């Protein structure tokens, strides 16, 4: 997590007006906390960056407590000097979600594309909310959430709050257009998805596997998430002390 925070921090130091692609979910919480701590420690300003989040639930207004807008506000934006006017997430309550998705693509393009895209991975191999069977060329669009994804994320919707059935998500093709990707995963739950992504065939059944075709991807995982990889010994030979960005 430290390594991911370091990469982001170095990116902003080198290019203060970076365009960052951001993600949500449990995995990103520690990363954002460490990134914020690093920025404070080094007095790094985030005032010139632009951010685009991967996705948002259809039907949730940005002020909804369980929206990804609220998540970003709580865990990153409110704790830094980021200019809120240059932070973008799809609007879940847009009157026409399909139009909103198309406009989001245009916004990313007009910003000059994404310098670094942060990614988590679903147990089913999704990136963003691109569920298995997503076109590997897909652009930002409305996507129906799988039962497994709803189950995994229901914990964040306490009580009788109804869980959204759809999301607006950057497409697999949109993600592939970013200049660099950092994928972060922890825990045994993710081991199978990581093995399929890194060593399996490139297939829409595991959307993350398309990253094998990306020219600049770093995969940051813990021991448990690496446990199903066949070529672990080789990766350890290449990176004996893990990934070290210093």
The set of catalytic residues is 55, 124, 126, 131
Residue selected from 20, 22, 72, 121 as contacting ligand PGA according to rule CB under 6 A: 121
Residue 188 makes contact with ligand PGA by CB under 6 A: no
Task: Report whether 214 contacts 183 (CB < 8 A).
Answer: no
- Alpha carbons 138 and 170: distance in angstroms, whole number: 8
Span near ligand PGA by CB under 6 A; candidates 6-14, 24-32, 135-143, 197-205 = 24-32
End-to-end C-alpha distance for the chain, whole angstroms: 14
Nearer to ligand PGA, 82 or 194 (CB): 194
Nearer to ligand PGA, 36 or 103 (CB): 36
| Torsion, Cα of 239, 191, 184, 205 (10° steps) | 120
Residue 27 makes contact with ligand PGA by CB under 6 A: yes
For residue 57, the cross-strand partners are: 167
- Alpha carbons 199 and 216: distance in angstroms, whole number: 17
Query: Tokens in use for 192?
Result: 């199978």
DSSP 47: T
Of 152, 154, 153, 128, which is closest to residue 142 (Cα–Cα)? 128
Nearer to ligand PGA, 38 or 127 (CB): 127
Residue 125 makes contact with ligand PGA by CB under 6 A: no
Residue selected from 9, 18, 25, 35 as contacting ligand PGA according to rule CB under 6 A: 25
Span near ligand PGA by CB under 6 A; candidates 8-16, 34-42, 115-123, 236-244 = 115-123
Residue 51 makes contact with ligand PGA by CB under 6 A: no
Residue 21 makes contact with ligand PGA by CB under 6 A: no
Give the phi and the psi of residue 148 in degrees, each rounded to 5. Answer: -60, -40
Residue 97 makes contact with ligand PGA by CB under 6 A: no
Applying CB under 6 A, the residues found at the interface with ligand PGA are 25-27, 120-122
């Amino acid at each position: 997590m430290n390594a991911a925070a370091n990469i982001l921090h170095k990116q902003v130091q080198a290019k203060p007006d970076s365009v960052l692609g951001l993600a949500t979910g449990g995995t990103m919480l520690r990363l954002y906390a460490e990134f914020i701590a690093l920025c404070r420690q080094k007095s790094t300003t985030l005032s010139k960056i632009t951010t685009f989040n991967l996705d948002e639930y259809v039907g949730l207004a940005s002020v909804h407590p369980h929206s990804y807008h609220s998540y970003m506000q709580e865990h990153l934006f409110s704790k830094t000097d980021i200019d809120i006017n240059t932070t973008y997430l799809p609007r879940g309550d847009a009157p026409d979600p399909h139009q909103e998705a198309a406009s989001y693509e245009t916004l990313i393009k007009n910003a000059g594309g994404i310098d670094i895209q942060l990614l988590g991975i679903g147990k089913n191999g999704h990136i963003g909310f691109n569920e298995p069977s997503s076109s590997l060329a897909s652009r930002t669009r409305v996507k129906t959430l799988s039962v497994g994804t709803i189950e995994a994320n229901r914990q964040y919707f306490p009580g009788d709050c109804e869980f959204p059935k759809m999301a607006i998500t950057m497409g697999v093709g949109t993600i592939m257009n970013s200049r660099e990707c950092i994928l972060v995963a922890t825990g045994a739950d993710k081991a199978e998805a990581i093995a399929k992504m890194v060593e399996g065939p490139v297939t829409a059944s595991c959307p993350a596997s398309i990253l094998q075709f990306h020219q600049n991807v770093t995969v940051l995982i813990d021991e448990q998430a690496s446990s199903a990889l066949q070529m672990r010994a080789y990766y350890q030979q290449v990176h004996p002390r893990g990934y070290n960005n210093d």
